[in-house]
A and B are shown apart, each in its own frame.
Chain A
Amino acid sequence: MQHASWTVGILLALLAGLILYAIFTARRGKRLFIRRIPGLNAIDEAVGRAAEMGRPMLFATGLSGLDINGLQALAVAGHVARVAARYATRLILCVADPQLYAIGEETVRDAYQRAGRPELFVPEDVRFLSDQQFAFATAASGVMFREKVSSNFFFGYYYAEALILSEAGQSIGAMQVAGTPATTQLPFFVVSCDYTIMGEEYYATTAYLTREPTLLGSVVGQDWGKIIILLLIVFSTLALSVAPNANWVKYWVNLFPAG
């Protein structure tokens, strides 16, 4: 679809509007409930573990480029870097996209600064490895082996390199937390990592970590958005089952874009 049809425009506006509404309600101080996601507590645990063992941690962003998934991965990296700075633990960030690398450099530097430990920031610990998939996977595994990392974080969009990295981490006994919206790689993270943040939980990660009202509101807004989609599907399925030949049902179904 080159340009939006009006139904698509309305649906997009509705979803965005709900999310923004939730964000601004949260900002005005309304307390919002969100349930626990087990994998997220594990992030702090993993940093603590590295501090205890006095060994570095690795954070890989997979093959994410400069897009929303890549940026979200860096937002998580920023949080991990801040905790790492507090415990004076080394964090090595491995990136496969040169533009994302530039942002990662800034993000981590900033995190150390904000934690009040700018002297702990080592520019060499933010690494651009390669934009070629398996060269990246090999090099990032190499970092794990040589630096003897104690914890691994895999956040971002992943392809087949997911299992290569997580098995390399397994073989050196690292604690591993993964989070990805890449549905094809989730099974492999689930079986080889200690905790996996799945699908849409990935976009809620920063909200849990920072407890910022804006982000919490956004998570609640996401739920409302999903309810809209769910209601659409339930309503249309029932309508199609009860009155498949009714003109209004045909009209209604045709309002939505087909693949």
Chain B
Amino acid sequence: MTNISPEQFTLIQLWFAGICTLAIYSLLYKENPVYRIFEYMFLGLGSAYGFSFLYKDVMIPKLWDPLTQGQWWWFIPFLFGLLYFTVYSGKFSWMARTLIGTLMGLAAGYQFTQVVNQYFPQIRDSFRPLTPAAVEAVRAANDVVTTQPAWQEAANNLVFFITLIAVMTYFFFSFEHRNKAVVKTAQLGRWLLMISFGTMFGSTITARAALAISRIIFIVYDWIGHYTGWKM
């Protein structure tokens, strides 16, 4: 077998990546057989990558290595994992169901701790002073130095407070929205929600454009440019 030099590998990689890029972009015109071939190949590559990752990062270092070093107890979770394979059999599928039930319980229990860690701090962060005097007092207590005028922060906090209440009101399920104040607040909440969605949509466009531009740069400057000498 002749050995392939690093330069040759670079070229192969370049061409392969180029063809892959064009194949996927052909979808923008129309779904077609070439695209389909690359779609399936991508699935194959991805699954094998996921699989080899698991093999290298879990099976070997967490199971095989400790087992061969005498830590026999790691064999027990492996045995439990085998129960997954009973899903297809009607008679023994209770084993998979029991395993899954246990895992669901673990997921639920873990979720409680996650909610607390992820979301509870946001409750406290929503306690914000609404008057300039109070803003200054809180700043002094926390040694915050900033050039922003206190009245500005107080005004921002007020807007924040109203938005929070309005949007939360919109989501109440168990009240018929009959009370006029509730109806109006919920309506305001829906509008603010839409502003929030618009904001996220608009701010994502630049980021997504960056991705496409990256690919264009690749095709034009890396791939074609390799032969024409174009440089960014």
Residues of A at under 8 Å CB distance from B? Answer: 1, 4, 8, 11-12, 32-35, 37, 66-68, 71, 99, 102-103, 105-106, 123, 129-132, 134-136, 138-139, 142, 145-146, 184, 186-188, 190-191, 198-201, 204, 219-220, 222-223, 226, 229-230, 232-234, 236-238, 240-242, 244-245, 250, 253, 256-259
Contacts and interface: CB of A to CB of B under 8 A. Distances in A.
A230 B197 CA distance: 22
28 contacts: A8-B116, A11-B120, A12-B115, A12-B116, A34-B173, A35-B176, A99-B103, A103-B100, A106-B87, A106-B97, A106-B100, A129-B43, A131-B46, A131-B47, A135-B45, A142-B36, A186-B197, A186-B200, A188-B201, A200-B171, A223-B175, A232-B123, A237-B130, A244-B129, A250-B141, A257-B124, A259-B122, A259-B124
Contact of B173 (A35, A66, A191, A253): A35
B39 interface: yes
Contact of A35 (B87, B93, B175): B175
Nearest to A123: B88
A123 B93 CA distance: 14
Contacts of B87: 102, 105-106
Interface string B133-152: 11001100100000000000
Interface stretch (B72-80, B104-112, B220-228): B104-112
A136 to B, nearest CB: 8
B47 A244 contact: no
Given A11-B120, A132-B46, A233 B164 contact: yes
Given A35-B176, A106-B97, A258-B121, 17 more contacts: A8-B120, A32-B174, A35-B175, A99-B100, A103-B104, A138-B24, A142-B36, A145-B31, A199-B171, A201-B173, A223-B175, A234-B165, A237-B127, A237-B129, A240-B128, A241-B131, A259-B125
A32 B46 CA distance: 48
Given A11-B120, A106-B87, A184-B200, A240 B138 contact: yes
A37 B84 CA distance: 37
B127 A233 contact: yes
A217 to B, nearest CB: 10
B173 A130 contact: no
B103 to A, nearest CB: 6
Contacts of B141: 244-245, 250
Nearest to B128: A237
Contacts of B200: 184, 186-187
Given A99-B103, A135-B45, A244-B137, A258 B124 contact: yes
Given A237-B127, A258-B125, A106 B43 contact: no
A37 B45 CA distance: 41
Contacts of A105: 87-88
Interface in B25-54: 31, 36, 39-40, 42-43, 45-47, 49-50
Nearest to A187: B197
B174 A223 contact: yes
Contacts of A222: 173
Contacts of A238: 130
B168 interface: yes
Contacts of A233: 123, 126-127, 161, 164-165
B209 to A, nearest CB: 14
A188 B207 CA distance: 14
Interface in B56-113: 84, 87-88, 93, 96-97, 100, 103-104, 107-108, 110-112
A57 to B, nearest CB: 19
B173 A135 contact: no
B201 A135 contact: no
Nearest to B115: A12
Nearest to A135: B46
A139 B43 contact: yes
A223 B103 contact: no
Given A253-B124, A257-B120, A201 B171 contact: yes
Nearest to B211: A160
Given A35-B177, A132-B49, A241-B131, A230 B165 contact: yes
B117 interface: yes
B172 interface: yes
A223 B84 contact: no
Contacts of B110: 67
B163 to A, nearest CB: 12
B130 A241 contact: yes
Nearest to B160: A237
